[in-house]
Amino acid sequence: MTTFDPHKSLGFQCEITLKAFIRNLSQRLDGTGISPTQFRALAHLMADGPQVQAELCELLSISPPSMVKLIDRMERDGWVVRQADALDRRVNKVACTEQAKEIWEEATIHSINLLEQAYRGIDPDEIESAIRLLMRIRKNLETPRNDDQKKKSKTKCADILVD
């Protein structure tokens, strides 16, 4: 029988590395008024522009009630605003304010210092290769497997027969 060794799993290594990044970032942000979760939300908003709350929940892996509290806090602090989506007024998008951009500049300094520590002794080409590799893995995981598609098709057919 084949056994799973989590220490040889890239996913497991990514998880514990992410925790180390967040722990270190939290220490660096201490006293700035920016939490690691706020930092991660700002990172997505700054990089990709306004986001629907549900998308942010998925990106940050937090529950919808936690996301509402996070956005409420960030809105109260003047970092984000909720905007009605142009195509669907029932949907709110979260967007950064000018004040958030100023906060982001401060947070960026801490982030750059963190990355310098994390990447110490690692060739920049290795970093680029690792980023490309992780992007490919993420794409593979976001693409449904053929087996999964077959199961969905069978479920739909069974549901039709039962109705």
CA proximity to 80, closest of 94, 60, 101, 66? 94
Taking residue 96's Cβ as centre, other Cβ atoms within 10 Å add up to: 20
Do the Cβ atoms of 52 and 85 come closer than 8 Å?
Answer: yes
Instruction: Report residue 1's pLDDT band, with 50, 70 and 90 as the boundaries.
Output: confident
pLDDT tens, position by position, 35-77 = 999 999 999 999 999 999 999 999 999 999 999 999 999 999 9
pLDDT tens, position by position, 72-106 = 999 999 999 999 888 888 888 999 999 999 999 98
The distance of Cα 7 from the centroid of its chain, to the nearest Å, equals: 23
User: What is the pLDDT, as a whole number, of residue 159?
Assistant: 42
Question: Is residue 75 exposed (0-12), middle (13-18) or buried (19+ Cβ within 10 Å)?
Answer: middle
Per DSSP, helices labelled H in 61-145 are 64-76, 98-118, 124-142
Average pLDDT estimate for 21-28? 94
Do the Cβ atoms of 94 and 80 come closer than 8 Å?
Answer: yes
Instruction: Report residue 160's pLDDT band, with 50, 70 and 90 as the boundaries.
Output: very low
Strands (E), the chain: 51-52, 80-84, 92-96
pLDDT tens, position by position, 123-151 = 999 999 999 999 999 999 988 877 655 55
**Domain coordinates in residue numbering, the chain:** 11-120, 124-163
Question: Is residue 45 exposed (0-12), middle (13-18) or buried (19+ Cβ within 10 Å)?
Answer: buried
- Does the domain at residues 11-120 carry the CATH identifier 1.10.10.10? yes
Instruction: Report residue 162's pLDDT band, with 50, 70 and 90 as the boundaries.
Output: very low
